[in-house]
Amino acid sequence: MVSNDEMLTFPDEPRAELDRALGDLVDRAQDVLATQGRLRALLRANLAVVEHLELPVVLQRIVQAAVELVGSEYGALGVIAPGGGLEQFIHVGIPPEQATIIGHLPEGHGLLGALIDDPRPIRLAHLQDDSRSSGFPTAHPGMESFLGVPIRVRDEVYGNLYLSNSSSGAFSREDEQLVESLAASAGFAIDNARLFAETCRRQAWSAASAEITAAMLSSNQSDSLPTLVSRVLVLAESDLVCMILPGQDAGTLVVEVARGQGEADLFGRTFPAAGTLAASVLAGKQPRLVGDGGPDAHLFSIEHPLGPMMAVPLIAAGRAEGVLLVARMAGGLRFTPSDLEMAADFAGQASLAVQLARARASEQRMLLLEDRGRIARDLHDHVIQQLFGTGLELQSVAGSIESPVERERILRSVSNLDSAVTQIRTVIFALSARQDTLDSVRHRILDLVHDLAPGLQKSPTVGFTGPVDLVVTGALADDVIAVTREALTNAVKHSQADQTGVTLDIIDGMVHLMICDNGAGITDTSRRSGLANLEARATERGGSFVITTGPTGTTVEWSVPINDSGPINNSAPVSNTAPVSNTGHEAVA
């Protein structure tokens, strides 16, 4: 009887071939399973990349997906700057504390730069063996195998994927193909994220533009410019925004409004316009973008140096009236052409709003001037005439009164009415002053009194008699203003007076200026530099300078002839009746 083993036996050689065939089938099945697993991993990686629209999140997910896809220890994505090098560097695998110790992130030199210069995949088993490798900084982890793949967005190379330290020792051709496929999907995800971000920014700029326009048309213009600058600071994600206008002096610019880094120190700063970015934008009326180290970087750096900038002109009625300068700190992201486009569009609408606000302000000023003119006419045509008539009537009554005391009282009232008429005439002048009278001596005295009034208990009274604006001009007007300023300043500092008056009269060919107060008087005449200057001004014009002072007040009288070709009496001493020992304020410069 034949056994079963003898019936089922095969020759050794066919059996070996069958075993090899079965082994090949198993290996191929395992390869298929592995390939299926990697394809599933690629699908998961693609899904992880495209499921977000925020660009920073998308970039981080791309690196993380690439690391998991090929089993690498470290990964990074470098975003290429417009001028070359790396603008951003997103990394995975290095702990934050170690990255802090390493310091400055890569800028795109060595092997990373080679991939920027020639955007084709680079796969190395030993990174240090390649001549393009430039080594690592202190505290950087060791890296052996390397795989670099470019990421394209449409026809533009957006950045590169860098992977290092494969878990299998070296990256394979299949790893390279998988990462290339992921990079293609990443390009679409980045493009979508950029379009989404730009759409959101445009919506924000548009909403802010409408908001600023409404604010400018419904509020004071002085508040609208700071509001505009503050909004741009947030919308442009910048560190500093300045509104720069032409300065009062030719060839200068001034920072009218500043928001952001060092705003308090920059506000009101005046600087030469020559060679600056702001001046070139004002002259060319075209917005401009600059990277790190622009011409204006040193002008506005306070604590930290400035880097990328964009400058946008504010154009109204075809004229550039200012520049909006937007800046980030050195090393920050550069502004894109779309950023500049949105800022320019915003500035254009803001310029129109500023122009409309100015027109409305001009209309309000005209209404105010018309109202002031009406008040001035009423005062001149009614009040002064009534006071003048009352004074004439009182004078006639005084002539018929026999009592000297009563007559004196009535005449004193008439004198008070004359003084009131003089004060009202000064008010009429102030209310009806035209642009061509702003430099007159009358207007200059009123401005001076207005500036010094806060230092006194009551505003000084001011009176004029005669054609002062026709007679007191040029250097003579400058002397009158200097004497008035000196005397009033002394009264503000030392007199403690509650009543102060300034009168300027043209009488009998003389210019007579008198400043009086009811303070405590002058106590110390040893410090006479200011008084000596007033005396010298009078003496040089052949006039006189007299101070009358006492416990009840001080009167300064300064008189010079209208025709100052020669002195009235060069040998006459200047009278000064100020006692030395009175208590009160002292005469100082």
CA distance linking residue 64 with residue 446, whole number of Å: 74
Averaged pLDDT score across all residues of the chain: 76
For 320, phi and psi rounded to 5 degrees?
-80, 115
Q: pLDDT tens for residues 487-508?
A: 888 888 877 888 888 888 888 8
Give 249's contacts (C-beta < 8 A, 6+ positions apart). Answer: 270
pLDDT confidence tier of residue 578, bands split at 50, 70 and 90 = very low
Report which listed range, 4-8, 213-217, 335-339, 561-565, is most confident: 335-339
CA distance linking residue 519 with residue 553, whole number of Å: 4
Q: What is the pLDDT of residue 459?
A: 79
Query: What does the pLDDT average to over 17-22?
Result: 65
CATH 3.30.450.40 residue window(s) in the chain: 25-197, 206-352
pLDDT confidence tier of residue 158, bands split at 50, 70 and 90 = confident
Are 65 and 48 in contact by the 8 Å Cβ rule? The answer is: yes
- Give CA separation, 545 vs 529, 534, 586, in Å: 14, 7, 17
Tokens at residue 476, please? Answer: 């003579």
| Torsional class of 71: left (φ above 0), alpha (ψ -120 to 50), beta (otherwise) | left
CA distance linking residue 263 with residue 226, whole number of Å: 11
10 Å Cβ neighbour count for 134?
12
Q: What is the pLDDT of residue 490?
A: 83
pLDDT at 426 over 80: no
Give 546's contacts (C-beta < 8 A, 6+ positions apart). Answer: 556, 557, 558, 574, 575, 576, 577
Q: What is the pLDDT of residue 69?
A: 80
Q: pLDDT tens for residues 529-561?
A: 677 888 888 888 899 999 888 888 889 999 999
CATH architecture of 206-352: 2-Layer Sandwich (3.30)
pLDDT at 119 over 70: yes
- Give CA separation, 391 vs 59, 63, 503, in Å: 90, 96, 21
Give 346's contacts (C-beta < 8 A, 6+ positions apart). Answer: 205, 208, 209, 212, 232, 235
Given the candidates 3.40.50.880, 3.40.50.10420, 3.40.50.300, 3.30.450.40, the CATH classification of the domain at 25-197 is: 3.30.450.40
CA distance linking residue 190 with residue 447, whole number of Å: 64
pLDDT confidence tier of residue 219, bands split at 50, 70 and 90 = low
Are 241 and 259 in contact by the 8 Å Cβ rule? The answer is: yes
Interhelix angle 173-218/337-378, rounded to 10 degrees, is: 10
| CATH class of the structural domain 438-589 | alpha beta
CATH 3.30.565.10 residue window(s) in the chain: 438-589
Q: What is the pLDDT of residue 581?
A: 28
Of 98-112, 122-136, 208-222, 345-359, the range with the lowest mean pLDDT is 208-222
More confident residue, 238 or 129: 238
pTM of the model: 0.49
Q: What is the pLDDT of residue 292?
A: 73
pLDDT at 580 over 50: no
Give 468's contacts (C-beta < 8 A, 6+ positions apart). Answer: 441, 442, 504, 505, 506, 511
SS3 (DSSP) at 288: strand
Q: Which amino acid is at 334?
A: R
Q: Which amino acid is at 338?
A: S
